[in-house]
Amino acid sequence: MADPATMEELRKEMGEKVTIPVPEGMIPVHAPLVDGTATVAVPGGAALAAPGDLERLRESMEPELVMSTLAGQLAVFRLPGDAAVPEWAMQGAFSSITRTPHELSIVTSIAAVPADAQRTSGPWTAFMVHGPLDFALTGILSRIAAPLARAGVSIFAISTYDTDYVLVPSADAERARSALTTSGTCRFADA
């Protein structure tokens, strides 16, 4: 590592005078060098990055997410917006009820949904982000959704006051866990 005085002297001497030809497929980046090191750098802090490098760098600087898999399988059920909430909707350890003018969406234990229910999707497996999460945090769901999308896993997201839940088709649950852990997005407390 070059000492800060030497790096500053080089920046003053060469700073804006250096021109770097940018190889095809690379992106020019200007980022001050904090400790005088970089993979590819010149005085003044210019560097070259391959597409995707900046996103991976940003993700690596974010706090680690810890997730757990909730026990049991869930179902997503739809009723008309003016329907009453059925008693069975609140059975089980996890349920979520959302009403809009157009629909009443219910997420609950798959065992609680009547056999004759229509407009039901499932089984789903729920992953919980350990919280509480500060309302000022941004990008939590996108950090989770991106590796799952790359793995071809669909999601159904639910946010509460304290945290986020991501439901994945139960048939894809192991593939989803693998995608989240190998991407460095999170670690599972119930591993």
Q: How confident is the model at residue 68 (pLDDT cuts 50, 70, 90)?
A: very high
Which range of 7-16, 27-36, 120-129 scores highest in mean pLDDT? It is 120-129
CA dist 67 and 131 (Å) reads: 9
Distance of CA 113 to CAs 9, 99, 106, Å?
A: 71, 18, 10
pLDDT tens digits along 91-147: 889 999 999 999 999 999 999 988 887 778 889 999 999 999 888 888 899 999 999
Predicted TM-score (pTM) of the model is 0.67
pLDDT attached to residue 43: 46
Give per-residue burial for 71-92: e unless 16+ CB within 10 Å, then b.
eebbbbbbbeeeeeebebbeeb
Domains and CATH numbers, the chain: 4-61 (no CATH), 65-188 (3.30.2130.10)
